[in-house]
Chain A
Amino acid sequence: MKKMLFICSFVLILLVFTACGAETPKEYRKNFSSMDTQIFVKIYDTKKADDILLEVVQIYEKFNNLTDKYKDYDTNGVYDINANAGIAPVQVEMDLIELLKNSIKYAELTNNEFNPAIGAVTTIWHEYRENCLTNNICSLPTDFELNEAKNLTNISDIVINEDEKTVFLAKEGMSLDLGGIAKGYTTQKVAEYLYNNNFENFIINAGGNVTTGKHPENRPWRVGLTDPDNIGNYFEVVEVLKKSVVSSGDYQRYYEYEGQKYHHIIDNKTQKPLNLYKGVSVVCDDSSIADILSTSLFNISIDEGKELLNKFEGEFEVYWYKANSEMIKYEKS
Protein backbone atom coordinates (compact mmCIF):
# COMPACT_ATOMS: atom_id res chain seq x y z
CA MET A 1 0.00 0.00 0.00
CA LYS A 2 2.75 2.42 0.96
CA LYS A 3 4.27 1.77 -2.43
CA MET A 4 1.06 2.65 -4.21
CA LEU A 5 0.76 5.95 -2.38
CA PHE A 6 4.37 6.73 -3.14
CA ILE A 7 3.86 6.15 -6.85
CA CYS A 8 0.76 8.27 -6.81
CA SER A 9 2.49 11.20 -5.14
CA PHE A 10 5.31 10.88 -7.64
CA VAL A 11 2.88 11.09 -10.53
CA LEU A 12 1.21 14.10 -8.92
CA ILE A 13 4.47 15.96 -8.49
CA LEU A 14 5.41 15.21 -12.07
CA LEU A 15 2.12 16.55 -13.32
CA VAL A 16 2.46 19.78 -11.40
CA PHE A 17 5.96 20.31 -12.75
CA THR A 18 5.06 19.78 -16.37
CA ALA A 19 2.12 22.12 -15.94
CA CYS A 20 4.28 24.97 -14.72
CA GLY A 21 6.95 24.50 -17.39
CA ALA A 22 9.53 26.21 -15.20
CA GLU A 23 11.70 27.86 -17.91
CA THR A 24 9.50 28.99 -20.77
CA PRO A 25 10.76 32.14 -22.53
CA LYS A 26 8.73 35.25 -21.81
CA GLU A 27 7.51 37.61 -24.50
CA TYR A 28 8.86 41.17 -24.50
CA ARG A 29 7.12 43.57 -26.86
CA LYS A 30 7.63 47.10 -28.08
CA ASN A 31 5.91 49.07 -30.81
CA PHE A 32 7.04 52.49 -31.87
CA SER A 33 6.97 54.86 -34.79
CA SER A 34 10.18 55.36 -36.76
CA MET A 35 11.34 55.49 -40.38
CA ASP A 36 7.92 56.65 -41.52
CA THR A 37 6.25 53.45 -40.33
CA GLN A 38 5.13 51.58 -37.22
CA ILE A 39 7.67 49.06 -35.98
CA PHE A 40 6.74 46.02 -33.85
CA VAL A 41 9.48 44.10 -32.07
CA LYS A 42 8.91 40.91 -30.07
CA ILE A 43 11.72 39.20 -28.21
CA TYR A 44 11.31 35.88 -26.38
CA ASP A 45 13.76 34.99 -23.67
CA THR A 46 14.13 33.64 -20.16
CA LYS A 47 16.28 36.66 -19.33
CA LYS A 48 14.85 40.16 -19.25
CA ALA A 49 14.73 41.97 -22.59
CA ASP A 50 13.42 45.38 -21.52
CA ASP A 51 16.77 47.13 -21.86
CA ILE A 52 17.66 45.61 -25.22
CA LEU A 53 14.26 46.70 -26.56
CA LEU A 54 15.11 50.30 -25.71
CA GLU A 55 18.44 49.91 -27.48
CA VAL A 56 16.61 48.57 -30.54
CA VAL A 57 14.47 51.72 -30.58
CA GLN A 58 17.65 53.81 -30.39
CA ILE A 59 19.20 52.04 -33.39
CA TYR A 60 16.09 52.75 -35.48
CA GLU A 61 16.02 56.36 -34.29
CA LYS A 62 19.67 56.83 -35.15
CA PHE A 63 19.25 55.57 -38.73
CA ASN A 64 15.97 57.42 -39.05
CA ASN A 65 17.76 60.68 -38.30
CA LEU A 66 20.66 59.82 -40.63
CA THR A 67 18.44 58.88 -43.58
CA ASP A 68 15.39 61.18 -43.33
CA LYS A 69 15.42 63.48 -46.36
CA TYR A 70 12.50 65.62 -45.24
CA LYS A 71 13.57 66.69 -41.76
CA ASP A 72 16.68 68.29 -40.30
CA TYR A 73 18.23 66.70 -37.18
CA ASP A 74 21.14 67.61 -34.91
CA THR A 75 23.45 65.03 -36.47
CA ASN A 76 24.41 65.49 -40.11
CA GLY A 77 22.55 63.17 -42.41
CA VAL A 78 20.89 62.83 -45.80
CA TYR A 79 18.96 66.06 -45.22
CA ASP A 80 22.19 68.05 -44.84
CA ILE A 81 23.90 66.28 -47.74
CA ASN A 82 20.94 67.16 -49.98
CA ALA A 83 20.82 70.76 -48.75
CA ASN A 84 24.48 71.14 -49.70
CA ALA A 85 24.22 69.51 -53.13
CA GLY A 86 26.47 71.32 -55.61
CA ILE A 87 27.71 73.54 -52.78
CA ALA A 88 29.93 71.70 -50.31
CA PRO A 89 30.86 68.25 -48.93
CA VAL A 90 29.18 67.35 -45.63
CA GLN A 91 30.90 65.46 -42.85
CA VAL A 92 28.83 62.53 -41.61
CA GLU A 93 29.09 59.50 -39.33
CA MET A 94 30.86 56.40 -40.61
CA ASP A 95 27.55 54.47 -40.30
CA LEU A 96 26.02 56.62 -43.03
CA ILE A 97 29.09 56.28 -45.26
CA GLU A 98 28.87 52.49 -44.91
CA LEU A 99 25.17 52.58 -45.79
CA LEU A 100 25.88 54.76 -48.84
CA LYS A 101 28.70 52.51 -50.02
CA ASN A 102 26.34 49.53 -49.78
CA SER A 103 23.66 51.48 -51.62
CA ILE A 104 26.03 52.30 -54.48
CA LYS A 105 27.12 48.65 -54.65
CA TYR A 106 23.47 47.55 -54.93
CA ALA A 107 22.78 50.24 -57.53
CA GLU A 108 25.55 48.76 -59.68
CA LEU A 109 24.31 45.19 -59.14
CA THR A 110 20.73 46.10 -60.01
CA ASN A 111 21.71 48.24 -63.01
CA ASN A 112 20.29 51.26 -61.14
CA GLU A 113 16.84 49.73 -60.66
CA PHE A 114 17.64 50.53 -57.06
CA ASN A 115 19.03 54.05 -57.21
CA PRO A 116 19.95 55.95 -54.02
CA ALA A 117 20.41 59.14 -56.10
CA ILE A 118 16.84 59.19 -57.41
CA GLY A 119 15.77 61.80 -54.85
CA ALA A 120 15.21 64.60 -57.37
CA VAL A 121 12.56 62.46 -59.08
CA THR A 122 10.90 61.00 -55.98
CA THR A 123 10.64 64.47 -54.45
CA ILE A 124 8.51 65.58 -57.41
CA TRP A 125 6.19 62.59 -57.05
CA HIS A 126 6.06 63.12 -53.28
CA GLU A 127 4.87 66.71 -53.78
CA TYR A 128 2.20 65.71 -56.28
CA ARG A 129 1.01 62.89 -54.00
CA GLU A 130 0.85 65.13 -50.92
CA ASN A 131 -0.95 67.84 -52.85
CA CYS A 132 -3.55 65.31 -53.97
CA LEU A 133 -3.99 63.58 -50.60
CA THR A 134 -4.00 66.64 -48.36
CA ASN A 135 -5.26 69.47 -50.58
CA ASN A 136 -7.30 67.44 -53.03
CA ILE A 137 -5.47 69.07 -55.92
CA CYS A 138 -4.57 66.08 -58.06
CA SER A 139 -2.46 66.10 -61.23
CA LEU A 140 0.62 64.48 -62.77
CA PRO A 141 4.19 65.75 -63.04
CA THR A 142 5.03 66.91 -66.55
CA ASP A 143 7.52 65.00 -68.71
CA PHE A 144 9.63 68.16 -68.77
CA GLU A 145 9.86 68.24 -64.99
CA LEU A 146 10.77 64.56 -64.79
CA ASN A 147 13.35 64.86 -67.58
CA GLU A 148 15.07 67.75 -65.87
CA ALA A 149 15.20 65.74 -62.66
CA LYS A 150 16.54 62.68 -64.48
CA ASN A 151 19.84 64.50 -65.13
CA LEU A 152 20.30 64.76 -61.39
CA THR A 153 20.15 61.04 -60.60
CA ASN A 154 23.59 59.68 -61.53
CA ILE A 155 25.21 57.65 -58.77
CA SER A 156 28.61 58.68 -60.15
CA ASP A 157 27.77 62.17 -58.89
CA ILE A 158 27.79 60.90 -55.29
CA VAL A 159 31.31 61.72 -54.14
CA ILE A 160 32.40 59.91 -50.97
CA ASN A 161 35.65 60.79 -49.26
CA GLU A 162 36.29 58.15 -46.65
CA ASP A 163 39.40 59.81 -45.20
CA GLU A 164 37.57 63.05 -44.60
CA LYS A 165 34.32 61.21 -43.83
CA THR A 166 32.45 63.48 -46.23
CA VAL A 167 29.74 63.06 -48.81
CA PHE A 168 29.24 65.50 -51.66
CA LEU A 169 26.55 65.58 -54.32
CA ALA A 170 28.22 67.03 -57.40
CA LYS A 171 25.18 68.73 -58.94
CA GLU A 172 22.90 71.35 -57.50
CA GLY A 173 19.38 70.03 -57.07
CA MET A 174 20.58 66.46 -56.64
CA SER A 175 19.21 64.52 -53.73
CA LEU A 176 19.70 61.18 -52.02
CA ASP A 177 16.69 59.01 -51.31
CA LEU A 178 17.42 55.94 -49.20
CA GLY A 179 13.76 54.98 -48.86
CA GLY A 180 14.37 51.71 -50.70
CA ILE A 181 17.04 50.49 -48.30
CA ALA A 182 17.02 52.38 -44.97
CA LYS A 183 14.39 50.25 -43.23
CA GLY A 184 15.85 46.95 -44.40
CA TYR A 185 19.42 47.99 -43.65
CA THR A 186 18.54 49.15 -40.13
CA THR A 187 16.47 46.05 -39.44
CA GLN A 188 19.44 43.90 -40.49
CA LYS A 189 21.65 45.88 -38.08
CA VAL A 190 19.10 45.34 -35.31
CA ALA A 191 18.89 41.59 -35.99
CA GLU A 192 22.68 41.31 -35.84
CA TYR A 193 22.71 43.33 -32.62
CA LEU A 194 20.18 40.97 -31.05
CA TYR A 195 22.16 37.86 -32.05
CA ASN A 196 25.38 39.39 -30.74
CA ASN A 197 23.71 40.03 -27.40
CA ASN A 198 22.40 36.47 -27.17
CA PHE A 199 18.78 37.26 -27.89
CA GLU A 200 18.09 34.68 -30.58
CA ASN A 201 14.31 34.41 -30.45
CA PHE A 202 12.68 37.42 -32.04
CA ILE A 203 10.45 38.76 -34.77
CA ILE A 204 10.48 42.31 -36.12
CA ASN A 205 7.77 43.80 -38.31
CA ALA A 206 8.77 47.16 -39.73
CA GLY A 207 5.92 48.01 -42.09
CA GLY A 208 6.04 45.21 -44.65
CA ASN A 209 9.56 44.24 -43.66
CA VAL A 210 9.47 41.16 -41.42
CA THR A 211 12.75 39.86 -40.04
CA THR A 212 12.86 36.75 -37.88
CA GLY A 213 15.30 35.09 -35.52
CA LYS A 214 14.63 31.70 -34.01
CA HIS A 215 11.18 30.76 -32.77
CA PRO A 216 10.81 30.17 -28.99
CA GLU A 217 8.85 26.98 -29.69
CA ASN A 218 11.48 25.66 -32.11
CA ARG A 219 9.33 25.89 -35.18
CA PRO A 220 9.47 28.18 -38.22
CA TRP A 221 7.71 31.54 -38.17
CA ARG A 222 4.65 31.77 -40.37
CA VAL A 223 4.58 35.01 -42.34
CA GLY A 224 1.65 36.01 -44.52
CA LEU A 225 2.24 37.92 -47.76
CA THR A 226 -0.10 40.92 -48.09
CA ASP A 227 -2.85 40.44 -50.65
CA PRO A 228 -2.65 43.66 -52.72
CA ASP A 229 -6.32 43.22 -53.68
CA ASN A 230 -7.43 42.83 -50.08
CA ILE A 231 -5.14 44.69 -47.68
CA GLY A 232 -4.94 43.18 -44.21
CA ASN A 233 -5.30 39.69 -45.67
CA TYR A 234 -2.64 37.48 -47.21
CA PHE A 235 -2.53 35.45 -50.42
CA GLU A 236 0.26 33.12 -49.33
CA VAL A 237 2.04 32.02 -46.16
CA VAL A 238 5.78 31.41 -46.04
CA GLU A 239 7.56 29.51 -43.27
CA VAL A 240 10.87 31.06 -42.31
CA LEU A 241 13.59 30.85 -39.70
CA LYS A 242 16.34 33.44 -39.35
CA LYS A 243 15.22 35.10 -42.58
CA SER A 244 13.65 38.30 -43.84
CA VAL A 245 10.44 38.69 -45.78
CA VAL A 246 9.93 42.03 -47.50
CA SER A 247 6.96 43.10 -49.61
CA SER A 248 6.73 46.14 -51.86
CA GLY A 249 3.37 47.10 -53.22
CA ASP A 250 1.32 49.68 -55.03
CA TYR A 251 -1.00 49.74 -52.01
CA GLN A 252 1.52 51.22 -49.57
CA ARG A 253 1.75 54.85 -50.70
CA TYR A 254 -0.15 56.14 -53.66
CA TYR A 255 -2.65 58.60 -55.04
CA GLU A 256 -5.23 58.26 -57.73
CA TYR A 257 -5.72 60.46 -60.77
CA GLU A 258 -8.28 59.88 -63.50
CA GLY A 259 -8.89 56.34 -62.29
CA GLN A 260 -5.22 55.39 -62.38
CA LYS A 261 -3.11 54.53 -59.33
CA TYR A 262 0.24 56.33 -58.94
CA HIS A 263 2.32 54.56 -56.28
CA HIS A 264 5.64 55.40 -54.65
CA ILE A 265 7.95 52.85 -56.29
CA ILE A 266 9.35 55.00 -59.08
CA ASP A 267 11.03 53.26 -62.01
CA ASN A 268 14.52 54.58 -62.69
CA LYS A 269 14.25 54.11 -66.48
CA THR A 270 11.06 56.10 -67.00
CA GLN A 271 10.93 58.26 -63.83
CA LYS A 272 7.38 57.00 -63.38
CA PRO A 273 5.60 54.34 -61.35
CA LEU A 274 4.99 51.23 -63.48
CA ASN A 275 2.04 48.90 -63.12
CA LEU A 276 3.55 45.52 -63.98
CA TYR A 277 2.75 44.17 -60.52
CA LYS A 278 0.59 45.03 -57.55
CA GLY A 279 3.13 43.52 -55.17
CA VAL A 280 6.49 41.77 -55.01
CA SER A 281 7.70 39.80 -51.97
CA VAL A 282 11.24 38.61 -51.41
CA VAL A 283 12.43 36.05 -48.85
CA CYS A 284 16.17 35.83 -48.10
CA ASP A 285 18.81 35.91 -45.37
CA ASP A 286 19.58 39.62 -45.42
CA SER A 287 16.95 42.23 -44.72
CA SER A 288 18.66 45.02 -46.69
CA ILE A 289 19.00 42.82 -49.79
CA ALA A 290 15.36 41.75 -49.46
CA ASP A 291 14.46 45.45 -49.27
CA ILE A 292 16.38 46.64 -52.36
CA LEU A 293 15.35 43.56 -54.35
CA SER A 294 11.63 43.93 -53.67
CA THR A 295 11.77 47.45 -55.09
CA SER A 296 14.15 46.59 -57.96
CA LEU A 297 12.08 43.58 -59.07
CA PHE A 298 8.96 45.73 -59.01
CA ASN A 299 9.91 47.58 -62.19
CA ILE A 300 11.41 44.84 -64.39
CA SER A 301 9.98 41.78 -66.11
CA ILE A 302 9.98 38.40 -64.37
CA ASP A 303 12.72 37.09 -66.71
CA GLU A 304 14.89 40.13 -66.04
CA GLY A 305 14.15 39.62 -62.36
CA LYS A 306 15.40 36.03 -62.41
CA GLU A 307 18.57 37.22 -64.14
CA LEU A 308 19.04 39.85 -61.46
CA LEU A 309 18.65 37.25 -58.70
CA ASN A 310 21.49 35.23 -60.22
CA LYS A 311 23.85 38.08 -59.37
CA PHE A 312 23.18 37.53 -55.67
CA GLU A 313 24.57 34.74 -53.51
CA GLY A 314 22.32 32.59 -51.38
CA GLU A 315 18.76 31.33 -51.35
CA PHE A 316 15.87 33.45 -52.54
CA GLU A 317 12.14 33.05 -52.80
CA VAL A 318 10.24 35.62 -54.83
CA TYR A 319 6.50 36.09 -55.22
CA TRP A 320 5.24 38.36 -57.98
CA TYR A 321 1.62 39.42 -57.64
CA LYS A 322 0.90 40.56 -61.18
CA ALA A 323 -1.37 43.38 -62.27
CA ASN A 324 -3.96 40.79 -63.35
CA SER A 325 -3.80 39.33 -59.80
CA GLU A 326 -1.99 36.20 -60.98
CA MET A 327 0.75 34.95 -58.64
CA ILE A 328 4.14 33.73 -59.85
CA LYS A 329 6.55 32.03 -57.47
CA TYR A 330 10.25 31.49 -58.07
CA GLU A 331 12.90 29.84 -55.93
CA LYS A 332 16.64 30.26 -56.36
CA SER A 333 19.12 28.27 -54.30
Chain B
Amino acid sequence: MKKADFILIAILLTLTLSITFLFHINRNKENMIAKVYNNGELVYTFTDLNKEEIFTTKGVNGDVVIETKDGKVRIKEETSPLNICSKQGWTDSTSKPLICLPNKVVVEIVGKDKDDIDAIA
Protein backbone atom coordinates (compact mmCIF):
# COMPACT_ATOMS: atom_id res chain seq x y z
CA MET B 1 0.00 0.00 0.00
CA LYS B 2 1.29 3.43 -0.96
CA LYS B 3 1.53 6.39 1.27
CA ALA B 4 -0.99 8.21 -0.92
CA ASP B 5 -3.57 5.51 -0.24
CA PHE B 6 -3.26 6.01 3.48
CA ILE B 7 -3.67 9.74 3.07
CA LEU B 8 -6.74 9.22 0.91
CA ILE B 9 -8.30 6.88 3.44
CA ALA B 10 -7.46 9.22 6.29
CA ILE B 11 -9.01 12.18 4.47
CA LEU B 12 -12.14 10.24 3.61
CA LEU B 13 -12.55 9.01 7.16
CA THR B 14 -12.06 12.40 8.76
CA LEU B 15 -14.47 13.93 6.30
CA THR B 16 -17.33 11.51 7.04
CA LEU B 17 -16.67 11.48 10.71
CA SER B 18 -16.90 15.24 10.88
CA ILE B 19 -20.01 15.29 8.72
CA THR B 20 -21.68 12.71 10.93
CA PHE B 21 -20.57 14.59 13.99
CA LEU B 22 -21.97 17.89 12.75
CA PHE B 23 -25.18 16.16 11.76
CA HIS B 24 -25.65 14.76 15.26
CA ILE B 25 -24.82 18.06 16.90
CA ASN B 26 -27.43 19.80 14.79
CA ARG B 27 -30.07 17.25 15.62
CA ASN B 28 -29.44 17.45 19.33
CA LYS B 29 -29.18 21.19 19.44
CA GLU B 30 -32.47 21.82 17.73
CA ASN B 31 -32.96 25.44 18.69
CA MET B 32 -35.44 26.14 21.47
CA ILE B 33 -38.22 28.44 20.36
CA ALA B 34 -41.27 29.86 22.11
CA LYS B 35 -44.65 29.99 20.42
CA VAL B 36 -47.25 32.49 21.56
CA TYR B 37 -50.90 31.56 21.14
CA ASN B 38 -53.74 34.05 21.60
CA ASN B 39 -57.20 32.52 21.73
CA GLY B 40 -55.86 29.40 20.04
CA GLU B 41 -54.15 31.28 17.20
CA LEU B 42 -50.38 31.29 16.83
CA VAL B 43 -49.58 35.02 16.93
CA TYR B 44 -45.80 35.09 17.38
CA THR B 45 -42.71 32.88 17.58
CA PHE B 46 -39.62 33.84 19.55
CA THR B 47 -36.88 32.17 17.48
CA ASP B 48 -34.04 32.90 19.89
CA LEU B 49 -34.71 32.84 23.61
CA ASN B 50 -31.22 34.20 24.31
CA LYS B 51 -32.10 37.45 22.60
CA GLU B 52 -33.65 40.18 24.75
CA GLU B 53 -37.00 40.69 23.16
CA ILE B 54 -40.49 41.85 24.10
CA PHE B 55 -43.74 40.90 22.40
CA THR B 56 -47.11 42.32 23.39
CA THR B 57 -50.44 40.76 22.52
CA LYS B 58 -53.92 41.92 23.45
CA GLY B 59 -55.48 39.50 25.95
CA VAL B 60 -59.02 39.36 27.31
CA ASN B 61 -58.23 41.75 30.18
CA GLY B 62 -55.67 43.92 28.37
CA ASP B 63 -52.11 43.78 27.10
CA VAL B 64 -50.05 40.68 27.84
CA VAL B 65 -46.33 41.49 27.74
CA ILE B 66 -44.03 38.54 27.03
CA GLU B 67 -40.27 38.77 27.43
CA THR B 68 -37.31 36.58 26.44
CA LYS B 69 -33.82 36.80 27.92
CA ASP B 70 -30.92 34.47 28.76
CA GLY B 71 -32.60 31.45 27.17
CA LYS B 72 -35.83 31.90 29.13
CA VAL B 73 -39.28 33.35 28.59
CA ARG B 74 -41.84 34.88 30.95
CA ILE B 75 -45.09 36.80 31.02
CA LYS B 76 -43.87 40.12 32.31
CA GLU B 77 -47.08 42.09 32.64
CA GLU B 78 -50.77 41.25 32.38
CA THR B 79 -54.07 41.79 34.11
CA SER B 80 -55.71 38.79 35.75
CA PRO B 81 -57.14 37.77 39.14
CA LEU B 82 -54.25 37.09 41.56
CA ASN B 83 -51.91 37.76 38.59
CA ILE B 84 -51.69 34.03 38.03
CA CYS B 85 -50.14 34.60 34.60
CA SER B 86 -47.08 36.66 35.51
CA LYS B 87 -46.70 34.79 38.82
CA GLN B 88 -45.58 31.74 36.83
CA GLY B 89 -42.24 33.47 36.33
CA TRP B 90 -39.52 32.43 33.89
CA THR B 91 -39.53 29.10 32.06
CA ASP B 92 -36.97 27.41 29.85
CA SER B 93 -38.60 24.01 29.71
CA THR B 94 -40.92 22.29 27.24
CA SER B 95 -42.73 20.73 30.20
CA LYS B 96 -43.50 24.12 31.70
CA PRO B 97 -45.60 26.14 29.26
CA LEU B 98 -46.93 29.48 30.46
CA ILE B 99 -50.69 29.21 30.65
CA CYS B 100 -52.68 32.38 31.06
CA LEU B 101 -56.30 31.24 30.91
CA PRO B 102 -57.88 34.54 32.03
CA ASN B 103 -56.32 36.24 29.00
CA LYS B 104 -56.52 33.17 26.74
CA VAL B 105 -52.78 33.43 26.08
CA VAL B 106 -50.40 30.46 26.05
CA VAL B 107 -46.62 30.41 25.56
CA GLU B 108 -45.30 27.00 24.59
CA ILE B 109 -41.61 26.12 24.38
CA VAL B 110 -40.69 23.80 21.57
CA GLY B 111 -37.37 22.07 20.94
CA LYS B 112 -34.90 20.11 22.96
CA ASP B 113 -34.38 21.37 26.49
CA LYS B 114 -31.98 20.30 29.20
CA ASP B 115 -34.87 19.48 31.49
CA ASP B 116 -35.41 15.73 31.74
CA ILE B 117 -39.06 16.02 32.71
CA ASP B 118 -41.76 15.25 30.15
CA ALA B 119 -44.70 16.90 31.91
CA ILE B 120 -45.87 18.25 35.24
CA ALA B 121 -49.09 17.06 36.87
Q: How far, in whole Å, are A38 and B40 apart by their CA atoms in the complex? A: 10
Q: How far is the CA of A146 from the CA of B116 in the complex (A)?
A: 46
Interchain CB contact under 8 A, B97 and A40: yes
Interface size class of B (residues with CB under 8 A): 35 or more
Residue B50 at the chain A interface, CB threshold 8 Å? no
**Main SS of the interface on chain A?**
strand
| Cα–Cα, bound, A40→B9 (Å) | 50
Once the chains bind, are A203 and B118 in contact (CB under 8 Å)?
yes
Contact of B101 among A18, A38, A247 (CB under 8 A): A38
A16-B20 contact in complex given A8-B9, A31-B108, C-beta closer than 8 Å: yes
Contact (A224, B9) CB under 8 Å given A31-B108, A231-B87: no
Report if A296 contacts B (CB, 8 A): no
A261–B37 Cα gap in the complex (Å)? 31
Does B70 interact with chain A (Cβ within 8 Å)? no
Q: Are A133 and B118 in contact (CB under 8 A)?
A: no
**Known contacts A38-B99, A38-B106, A210-B119; is A232 also within 8 Å of B16 by CB?**
no
Question: Considering only CB atoms, which chain A residue lies closest to B96 in the complex?
Answer: A232
Given contacts A32-B40, A38-B106, A234-B117, contact A5 B9 (CB under 8 A): yes
Chain A residues with CB under 8 A of B1: 1, 4
Check A224/B120 contact, CB under 8 A, given A37-B101, A38-B99, A38-B101: yes
Pick the contact of A29: B2, B20, B81, B110 (CB < 8 A).
B110
Write out the residue numbers on chain B whose beta carbons fall within 8 Å of the beta carbon of A37.
101
Q: How far is the CB of B97 from chain A (nearest CB, A)?
A: 7
Least CB distance, B95 to chain A, in whole angstroms: 7
A contact residues, total (Cβ < 8 Å) = 42
- Tell whether, in the assembled complex, residue B13 and residue A8 are in contact, meaning their CB atoms are under 8 Å apart: yes
Question: How far, in angstroms, from A224 to B96 measured CA to CA in the complex?
Answer: 10
Q: Which of A5, A231, A232, A245 contacts B121 (CB 8 A)?
A: A245
Q: Which of A207-241 contact B (CB under 8 A)?
A: 207-210, 212, 221-226, 231-232, 234, 237
A266 in the interface (beta carbon within 8 A): no
Distance to closest chain B CB from A319 (angstroms)? 10
Q: Is B24 an interface residue (CB 8 A)?
A: yes
**B residues 82-121 in Cβ contact with A at 8 Å:** 82, 87-89, 91, 95-97, 99, 101, 104, 106, 108, 110, 116-121
Whether A203 contacts B119 by the Cβ 8 Å rule is yes
B7-50 interface code vs A (CB 8 A; 1 in, 0 out) = 01100110011011001100000000000010010000000000
Contact: B37 with A31, CB < 8 Å? yes
A212: B residues at CB distance < 8 A: 118
Which of A11, A134, A223 is within 8 Å of B119, CB to CB? A223
The 8 closest A-B CB pairs, nearest first, are A133-B81, A210-B121, A245-B121, A224-B120, A38-B99, A221-B118, A12-B16, A247-B121
Interface residues of A (CB under 8 A from B): 1, 4-5, 8, 11-12, 15-16, 18-20, 29, 31-33, 36-38, 40, 133-134, 203, 205, 207-210, 212, 221-226, 231-232, 234, 237, 245-247, 281
Q: What 15 new A-B contacts, CB under 8 Å, besides A40-B97, A133-B81?
A: A1-B1, A4-B5, A5-B8, A8-B12, A31-B97, A33-B104, A33-B106, A222-B117, A223-B118, A223-B121, A224-B120, A225-B121, A226-B120, A232-B91, A234-B120
